Amino acid sequence: MRKVLVLLLIMSFSLLSVSFLSAEENLKTDKDFSNSVACFGKNILIKEYNKANTVISPLSIHLALDMLYNGAEGKTEKEMKKTLSYPSNMAKKNISEQSKAIMDNLKSTDSMALEIANSLWVKKNVKIKQSFIDNCKKYFYAEVKNNTNPSLINKWVSDKTHQKINKIVPDGSQIDTALINAIYFNGTWVDKFDKNYTNDQDFTNVKGQKIKVPMMFKSEYMRYYENDKYQVVRLPYKGNKMSMYVFLPSENSSIDSFVKDFSQDEFLNTSNNVKRTKVNLHLPKFKTECSFEISKTVKELGMKSAFNGKADFKGISDDFFVSEIIHKTYIDVNESGTEAAAVTAIIRATGCAPGAQEIIKNMYVNRPFFFVLSDDVSNIPVFMGVITEPK
């Protein structure tokens, strides 16, 4: 009997103001590894986007698969390394060290909460190699649970996401092993939107239909950039470690082509070129939930043998393979900030002062747009997505 593999990944972030102890940065995150997270996430987003609101967490999916990669060998290891866009010259141990560096560096400050948690659940009498368990503890700070009862797993999920995700495993699920990653973010915009300026305005959705949405507004100095393809504004969170970048494609282009063509290099260029500018920003409030079964997508990206009888996870046990990968997200953007959550499950079941003639830019986000919520130091995307119809 092949063993059951369930790898669950959960994250949540909220823009309510909560204080936690700040943490000092440890090992520096490698730029190429940061880019691998972004590239892999972009590849997932492109394949899952279907002209509807599409939000994913590249970091969450990547960290979960980083844990799984610890146990991959042979062909499966090679396929995972390529699919996850790992640097070609980076050894497995270095990849684990980089995952650890991400978790060490992306932590709470006095004005922002950012929590990352991992756990390993193993059913009684199921044999998992001690070296794999040790690596999960050492590099991913994983809690080890000797029980795979769905109610216990769901409670852990709920606790770690501050009740934003309450259930990932159906009642009665037969689970041999589960790897779970959870991320929770809690902060506020540096400059909030005034609720008194929010009112219903037209938004042209991806179908070309005009709908009424609650549109927020503020006029102030922001980090801004534009070219003939798009406008972008950076909205920092308190603590100045995390920011949301909102990209609005030009009126003569489509969100579809923007998502397809936008690259990590383009993002890095944009983040380096945003300048302090007076901006009249109209941005819709939005709340959306997404659910994806991404097994097919991951296979198409090259990670094929992990899902069949040829899977080589001998670093975990002699007969491990994956059946299903589920990714769920929730996001709520409002005047105070952002609240969001995501779940991924991999399953096998049994500036300057203004001048005298200042230029004011207008950014009216009244049509489909793209966003990235990222770490300002490493540029690692925690969340990214396309909003085609704010609701």
Same domain? 58 vs 127: yes
**Do residues 317 and 73 touch, judged by C-beta distance below 8 A?**
no
Quick one: 242 and 367 in the same domain?
A: yes
Rg of the chain over all Cα atoms, to the nearest angstrom: 21
- Same domain? For 134 and 163 the reply is yes
CA 218 to chain centre: 27
Residues 168 and 113 in one domain: yes
Query: What residues make up the domain containing 64?
Result: 5-188+287-347
Q: Is the dihedral of CA 196, 201, 205, 211 positive or negative?
A: positive
Distance of CA 298 to the CA centre of its chain: 16
Residue 62 sits in the same domain as residue 158: yes
- The confidence score (pLDDT) of residue 299 equals 95
Residue 103's CATH number: 3.30.497.10
| Domains identified in the chain, total number | 2
The segments of the chain whose pLDDT lies below 70 read 1-28, 339, 341, 343-358
pLDDT at 332: 82
Shortest CA distance to 117 belongs to which of 148, 152, 156?
156
Residues 175 and 199 in one domain: no
CA 223 to chain centre: 23
Residues 343 and 356 in one domain: no
Residue 214 C-alpha from the chain's centroid:
25
What sign does the CA torsion over 144, 148, 150, 151 have? negative
Task: Kindly report the number of other CB atoms within 10 A of residue 89's CB atom.
Answer: 7
Tell whether 229 and 296 lie within a shared domain. Answer: no
- Residues 318, 372, single domain; the answer is no
The enclosing domain of 259 has a CATH number of 2.30.39.10
Q: What is the pLDDT of residue 357?
A: 52
- Over residues 349-371, the pLDDT tens digits come to 554 334 445 689 999 999 999 99
Judge if 229 and 90 occupy the same domain: no
Q: Count the Cβ atoms, other than its own, within 10 Å of residue 295.
A: 18
Residues 303 and 243 reside in one and the same domain: no
Quote the pLDDT of residue 322: 80
- pLDDT at position 358: 65
226 and 359, same structural domain? yes
Give all strands (DSSP E) within the chain, no chain letters: 5-14, 54-56, 113-122, 143-145, 177-186, 199-204, 210-226, 230-236, 242-249, 275-284, 286-293, 324-333, 338-347, 360-364, 369-375, 381-387
pLDDT tens profile 215-273? 999 999 999 999 999 999 999 999 888 999 999 999 988 999 999 998 888 898 898 89
